Amino acid sequence: MRTSELDYDLPPGLIAQTPAEPRSSSRLLVYDRATGAIRHRRFADLLDELAADDLVVVNDTRVLPVRLRGRRTTGGAVEILLLEPRRDGEWEALARPYARLRSGEVVSAAGLDLRIEQRLGEGRVTVTPLTSEPIEQALAAAGEMPLPPYIQQAPADPDRYQTVYARQPGSAAAPTAGLHFTPELWATLGTRMEVVAVTLGVGLDTFRPVAEDDLAEHEIHSERYQVSEDTAAAIRAALTDGRRVVAVGTTVVRVLETVFGDPPGELAGRSRLFITPGYRFRAVGAMVTNFHLPRSTLLALVMAFAGIEGTRDLYRKAVAERYRFYSFGDACLIR
């Protein structure tokens, strides 16, 4: 597949800058893969579009305030974006200006010192936070929420870039399909049908544009995931019974197809699965997702699920109907 096939025209004014209020008032485009039919609803209507015997799976990862703005000892500005923890207290991170940073130097961000350990290439470094307090506590005082660059101003409430069911800290980005749930809608969902959670720490590579002309040449970086024994049993039972498994977000799709695909994977590890058109889905029967960036691996995944032409059609319809796009934008249910 040529990467150019992941392009589409999007007026800049349709890139959502603020989240909908309330969360569930965002719009919901419902797309039927079998018939090509499209309906326009609100996210608050999602439960009416699901079946009583559906199994809904969410990603309960919690975003940490991992963007750190600081200074080098020379006085120069530096920005560190922590991606995920490694061994011995180290973190993998993105840093800029990358070319000027040297191994062993210490940068300070709002009272939190970080030592640069290694330069990994492509703007990546390993760093060690020099703090005696728990890292989550240190980040709460020194860090900012890692909003995407196309969002020009952070919301007044940082929790608006957090799902209401976020539990497991460790993400550098939000699983945005779940941002539309209010506490009330989330509670009602749990009374109507079976709901389980997996955990995948969302890394920024998922959202990076594909630079290669041939999609097959793109290297997708791995992301940590975990599925509990109870959740795995519920998913296996649904698949055995022929019940539909509904993934809330592309991150959940990757976990489900990694663990319950062909061949099946372990219940915990790193997902290196790159889903592109032609992939045969083994676990996911329906997907709730936002509208994704052109030339992104997420759009390739949606095209694999909904079909290339089907996806192009629903994106054209979404633009024509002036849906809001990207992280704070509207949602679609593909079934």
Q: 3-63+155-334 has which CATH code?
A: 3.40.1780.10
Query: E strands within 25-87?
Result: 27-31, 38-42, 55-59, 61-63, 67-71, 77-85
- What pLDDT is recorded for position 170? 87
What is the enclosing helix (H) or strand (E) of 130? strand 124-130
- The per-residue pLDDT for 88 is 85
Confidence of residue 211 (pLDDT cuts 50, 70, 90): confident
Query: What is the per-residue pLDDT for 206?
Result: 63
Model confidence at 205, in pLDDT bands (50, 70, 90)? low
Q: Kindly tell me the number of DSSP H helices and DSSP E strands found in the chain.
A: 7, 17
Cα separation, 206 vs 215, in Å, equals 14
Mean pLDDT of the chain: 94
The most confident of 91-95, 205-209, 271-275, 285-289, by mean pLDDT: 285-289
Q: Mention the CATH class of domain 67-142.
A: mainly beta
Using DSSP's 3-state secondary structure scheme, residue 334 falls into strand
| Dist CA 115 CA 128 (whole Å) | 5
Q: What percent of the chain has pLDDT over 90?
A: 86
CB 197 within 8 A of CB 60: yes
Q: 258 and 273 in contact (C-beta within 8 Å)?
A: yes
Q: Is 246:286 a contact under the CB 8 Å cutoff?
A: yes
**Do 3-63+155-334 and 67-142 have matching folds?**
no
Taking each helix axis as running N to C, give the angle between helix 250-260 and helix 229-241, from 0 to 180 degrees, rounded to the nearest 10.
80
**Out of 17-26, 206-215, 230-239, least confident range:** 206-215
Residue 46 pLDDT more than 80?
A: yes
- Beta strands 194-200 and 223-226 are antiparallel
Contact 225, 258 (CB under 8 A): yes
Between the two ends of the chain, the Cα-to-Cα distance in Å is 24
pLDDT tens for each residue of 73-116: 899 999 999 999 888 889 999 999 998 899 999 999 988 999 99
Q: How far apart are CA 19 and CA 286, in angstroms?
A: 24
Q: What is the pTM of this model?
A: 0.94
Flag whether pLDDT at 309 surpasses 70: yes
- What does the domain layout of the chain look like in residue ranges? 3-63+155-334, 67-142
Tokens 């993105």 sit on residue: 94
Backbone angles phi, psi at 315, to 5 degrees: -70, -40
pLDDT digits (tens, 9 = 90+) for 148-191: 989 999 999 999 999 999 999 989 999 999 999 999 999 999 99
